[in-house]
């Protein structure tokens, strides 16, 4: 029996790509034949690992396609042509309105993605959602099949690689507070709220602080330029946009971070929160979408976008050692829930349960 994974685009090192590869390695150790098939394949991924969609083998009725749904693509409408069972792994699609001012392309992809998601409701026989928030979105879109929640698989072993020394040497040997946010520069992530809170923090509490906004702005140049203009108008010297950087550099930023702040308004899971937990960086996050669920009681949740209040919270976490320790300790505990072994076992259990139910029928 074959269980293959299909997705429109597989990128090297992004959350969906990592999840796909981790599931592939897991399925390789089972009795099932498996493979990854994508339309666009990152050149850094070997052709043995991922094959082109056109190479999908003949599938029988009992075979399974695990389809990773995260964007708009014609594949969403073509999936039904495969004569086999289909499981949707839903990673979330950002509401297109966020991109209206900045990118026609992203706006279109997300609108089309949401249409595709609704279309797939009639084809999906079972769904796995990265979070309860994602599950709710599927239910709202009319999915009637069984949906289970399975957190994304995160490659923690990669985080043990050596971080970039230059960055660590440059920013860690002084008394500055390093505030970090990692993730694509995107309007749903609301980096402007981060900047405004940082501005108030440096104005009222601590001038010796830096804000690192780590992430690619490819395709979001208009939003990026607006953010830069905002920083300039606020006369902030210590805001750093790194753009797309190497993995060892990302690790270094986590190493030097004193606080991770997330003001995002739409996340289907938010892997950077788990990364911050791994690096024992206290988290302050705005309570939206799947954020509270991923934090699972750890971190510090704020329900306001008021920059003065958020600046005061930053100050409180940075100056109250006991509070900081509790936050980090809670994050350590929460991190255990994302242990790959636990999630892998859950995945296999869900899969067997799906197969069992189908066989009974």
Partner 1 sequence: MQKINVQKIMEEIREEIKEKGYTEDMLSFHEIPVRTDQILDAIPAENKTIFTSTINQVRNASYIPWYRPVPNGIKGFIKKVIRKCVGFVVAPITDDQNIYNSLNITLVEQLCNRVEEQQEQILKLEKCIADLNKNK
The single residue among 46, 48, 54, 341 that binds partner 1, judged by CB under 8 A, is 54
Instruction: Indicate the residue among 58 and 237 with the shorter CB distance to partner 1.
Output: 58
Question: Per rule CB under 8 A, is residue 260 in the interface with partner 1?
Answer: no
The C-alpha atoms of residue 43 and residue 50 are separated, in whole angstroms, by: 10
Beta carbons within 10 angstroms of residue 104's beta carbon: 9
Question: Which residue in 202, 150, 161, 236 sits closest to 310, CA to CA?
Answer: 202
> Residue 346, SS3?
helix
Place of tokens 């946009």: 241
Q: Which of 279, 242, 249 is nearest to 163 (CA)?
A: 249
Nearest residue (CB) to partner 1, 268 versus 307: 307
Question: Looking up tokens 């009795």, which residue turns up?
Answer: 31
Piece of the chain touching partner 1 by CB under 8 A; list 111-119, 138-146, 216-224, 248-256: 216-224
Residue recorded with tokens 């990673």: 91
For the beta carbon of residue 238, count every other beta carbon within 10 angstroms.
17
Q: CA neighbours within 13 Å on the CB side: how many for 24?
A: 20
DSSP code of residue 163:
P
Rounded distance between C-alpha atoms, residue 355 and residue 361, angstroms = 10
Is 62 among the residues that bind partner 1 (CB under 8 A)?
no
Contacts to partner 1 from residues 192-211, by CB under 8 A: 192-193, 195-196, 199-200, 204
Instruction: Give, as ranges, the residues between 281 and 310 that touch partner 1 (CB under 8 A).
Output: 297-298, 300-301, 306-309
> By CB under 8 A, how many residues form the interface with partner 1?
52
In the complex, minimum distance from the CB of residue 223 to partner 1, in angstroms, rounded to a whole number? 8
**Residue 118 interacting with partner 1 (CB under 8 A):** no
- Looking at residue 215, the DSSP 8-state letter turns out to be B
Given the complex with partner 1, which of 225 and 357 has the nearer CB atom? 225
* Single residue of 334, 343, 347, 351 touching partner 1 by CB under 8 A: 334
Residues that bind partner 1 (CB under 8 A): 40-43, 52, 54-55, 57-58, 101-105, 192-193, 195-196, 199-200, 204, 216, 218-219, 221-222, 225-226, 229-230, 233-234, 243-244, 297-298, 300-301, 306-309, 312-313, 316, 323, 326-327, 329-330, 333-334
């Amino acid at each position: 029996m074959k269980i293959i994974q299909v997705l429109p685009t597989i990128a090297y090192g992004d959350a969906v790509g990592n999840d796909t590869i981790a599931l592939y390695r897991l399925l390789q150790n089972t009795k099932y034949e498996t493979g990854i098939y994508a339309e666009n394949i990152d050149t850094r991924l070997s052709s043995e690992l991922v094959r082109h969609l056109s190479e999908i083998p003949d599938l029988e009725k009992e075979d399974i396609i695990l389809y990773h749904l995260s964007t708009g693509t014609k594949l969403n409408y073509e999936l039904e042509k495969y004569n086999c069972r289909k499981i949707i792994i839903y990673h979330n699609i950002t509401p297109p309105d966020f991109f209206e001012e900045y990118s026609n392309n992203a706006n279109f992809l997300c609108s089309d993605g949401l249409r595709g998601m609704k279309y797939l409701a009639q084809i999906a026989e079972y769904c796995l959602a990265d979070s309860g928030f994602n599950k709710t979105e599927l239910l709202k879109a009319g999915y009637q099949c069984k949906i289970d929640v399975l957190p994304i698989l995160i490659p923690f072993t990669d985080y043990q690689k050596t971080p970039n020394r230059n960055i660590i040497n440059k920013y860690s040997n002084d008394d500055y507070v390093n505030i970090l946010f990692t993730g694509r520069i995107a309007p749903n992530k609301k980096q402007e709220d981060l900047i405004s809170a940082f501005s108030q923090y440096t104005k009222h509490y601590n001038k010796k602080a830096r804000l690192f906004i780590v992430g690619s702005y490819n395709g979001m140049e208009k939003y990026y330029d607006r953010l830069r203009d905002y920083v300039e108008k606020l006369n902030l010297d210590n805001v750093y946009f790194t753009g797309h950087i190497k993995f060892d550099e990302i690790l270094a930023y986590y190493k030097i971070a004193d606080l991770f702040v997330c003001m995002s308004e739409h996340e289907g899971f938010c892997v950077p929160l788990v990364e911050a937990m791994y690096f024992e960086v206290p988290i302050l996050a705005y309570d939206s979408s799947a954020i509270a669920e991923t934090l699972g009681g750890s971190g510090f949740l704020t329900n306001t976008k008021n920059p003065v209040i958020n600046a005061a919270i930053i100050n409180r976490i940075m100056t109250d050692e006991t509070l900081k320790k509790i936050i980090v300790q809670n994050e350590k505990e929460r991190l255990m829930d994302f242990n790959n072994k636990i999630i892998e076992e859950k995945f296999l259990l869900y899969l067997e349960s799906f197969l069992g139910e189908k066989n009974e029928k």
